[in-house]
């Protein structure tokens, strides 16, 4: 691969770009406490790598609330209000190497930065503005587009092709994320998959899902960029 080939880099947010110190989980718990009057640690709800819409549906199903669009939207609206309040109060961080990689890629004409995330767009913006990363990204695919993460790659690719009037073939697209769900999401549309063990999955656990690349973290920016041909 030569570095002059135009590439589309699609990034997961939580535990890939940032660690929001569980602000999202805190907001979910608060909505449950207010709505259902219980302190629920939500240990039985799978969150990592899932879309916000999927998470909301799982929680509403647990509390036997009908999964209507109206109910899901109302739950997510409450979640976003809580997220906006909790993010400034929580001490999260940008993960190692991320800010430098984004700055370098953003300066390049032949690298396009997008988001491919289970967050709602409003939640993604709240989180990334909090940590100064939002303006690096031109567009994204979000939970607003589909509740199944594996469907999101096609939305991101279509948006990139339209905006750039360029046909990004799947092999010219990298999906970067911290969970097996991110790897599956990238493989679902033929992209290269880049796994980074800055979330709860270890390098070995990620490697078991056969990503094209796996890193402990992105702190060695020069090595990461060289290895990926970025
Ligand atoms: Mg993640």
Percent of the chain residues past pLDDT 70, beyond the cut: 98
Does residue 107 sit in helix, strand or coil?
Answer: coil
pLDDT band at 178 (very low <50, low <70, confident <90, very high): very high
Q: Do residues 143 and 125 make contact, with C-beta atoms less than 8 angstroms apart? A: no
- Residue 131 Cα to chain centre, angstroms: 14
Radius of gyration of the chain (CA): 17
Find residue 19's DSSP bridge partners.
93
Contacts of 167 (CB under 8 A, 6+ apart): 161
Residue 4 CA to ligand 1 center (angstroms) comes to 29
Model-level pTM? 0.93
Residue 16 CA, ligand 1 centroid: distance in Å: 5
User: pLDDT-based confidence at 3, cuts 50/70/90?
Assistant: very low
Task: Tell how far the Cα of 197 is from the centroid of ligand 1, in angstroms.
Answer: 10
Owner of token pair 């549309």: 189
Q: Which residues are bridge partners to 213 per DSSP?
A: 194
202 contacts 81 by C-beta, under 8 angstroms: no
Cα of 8 to ligand 1 centre, how many Å? 18
Strand 192-196 relative to strand 213-215, pairing: parallel
Residues whose Cβ atom is located within 5 A of ion ligand 1 = 12, 14-16, 178
User: How far apart are the CA of 15 and the centre of ligand 1, in A?
Assistant: 5
Q: What is the pLDDT of residue 4?
A: 56
């Amino acid at each position: 691969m030569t570095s002059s080939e135009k590439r589309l880099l699609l990034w997961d947010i939580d535990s890939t770009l940032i660690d929001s110190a569980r602000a999202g989980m805190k907001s979910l718990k608060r909505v449950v406490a207010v709505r259902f009057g219980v302190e629920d640690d939500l240990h039985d709800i799978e969150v990592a790598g899932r879309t916000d819409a999927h998470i909301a549906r799982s929680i509403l199903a647990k509390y036997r609330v009908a999964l209507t669009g109206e109910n899901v939207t109302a739950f997510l609206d409450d979640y976003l209000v809580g997220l906006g309040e909790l993010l400034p109060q929580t001490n999260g961080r940008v993960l190692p190497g991320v800010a430098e990689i984004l700055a370098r890629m953003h300066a390049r004409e032949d690298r396009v930065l997008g988001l491919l995330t289970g967050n709602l767009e409003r939640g993604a913006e709240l989180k990334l503005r909090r940590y100064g990363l939002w303006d690096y990204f031109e567009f994204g695919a979000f939970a607003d587009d589909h509740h199944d993460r594996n469907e999101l790659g096609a939305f991101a690719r279509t948006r990139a092709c339209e905006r750039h009037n360029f046909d990004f073939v799947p092999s010219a697209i990298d999906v970067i994320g911290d969970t097996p769900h991110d790897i599956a999401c990238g493989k679902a549309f033929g992209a290269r998959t880049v796994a980074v063990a800055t979330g709860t999955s270890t390098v070995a656990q990620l490697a078991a899902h056969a990503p094209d690349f796996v890193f402990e973290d992105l702190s060695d920016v020069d090595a990461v960029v060289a290895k990926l041909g970025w």
